[in-house]
Amino acid sequence: MSKVNWQLDKSHSGIDFSVRHMMISNVRGSFTDFDATVAADPANLSDLTASITIDANSVDTKDAGRDGHLKSPDFFNVEQFPNLTFTVTKVSPKSGEDYEITGDLTIAGVTKSVSLNGEISGPAKDPWGNEKIAVSASGSLNRSDFGLVWNAALETGGVLVSDTIKLNIELQFAKAA
């Protein structure tokens, strides 16, 4: 198979994150509006090209007040920076379907290289004959690296929001017609 384009199957995809709150629990959230493009030969991922564009305004933590704060200049500053982006720069095989996926992540106008643990599966045919591939990626990043430094001290010591953000990305693609 040669390098082909793959279209995002959004109904089988998700971008989630979690962060420690008050140093005792995790708050989870997701982005509900995103798109991704992939051009790849599943048999030879060395020349894979891929990017994800996330609408920062679509952040959803199931709390409207918190979501509003995340959209403000304290965090994503969605008026000035409406999108978060991740552009793959390198895919390094580990073993089997496991890869290290490295790319340039841009949040609030700041771009940093980030490496994620990835799994690339497929191709496989669904019951209707559509060829599919899936990409799962997870890892963590420090939000302060992207200028997201808002926080509040706790009376008992520590801070309200951890610097470490855990990411979980699950994307499924269909071979473009």
Task: Count CB neighbours of 3 within 10 A.
Answer: 15
pLDDT tens digits for range 46-84? 788 899 999 999 999 888 987 888 888 877 889 999 999
Residues whose CB is less than 8 angstroms from the CB of residue 108 and which lie 6 or more positions away in sequence, other chains included: 75, 76, 77, 80, 81, 146, 147, 148
Considering the entire predicted model, what is its pTM?
Answer: 0.86
Q: Could you tell me if 51 and 59 are in contact, meaning their C-beta atoms sit under 8 angstroms apart?
A: no
Residue 172, pLDDT above cutoff 80: yes
Look at the domain 4-175 and name its fold. Lipocalin (2.40.128)
Identity (one letter) of the amino acid at 46? S
pLDDT tens digits for range 136-156? 999 988 877 777 665 544 455
Domain range summary for the chain, segments of one domain joined by +: 4-175
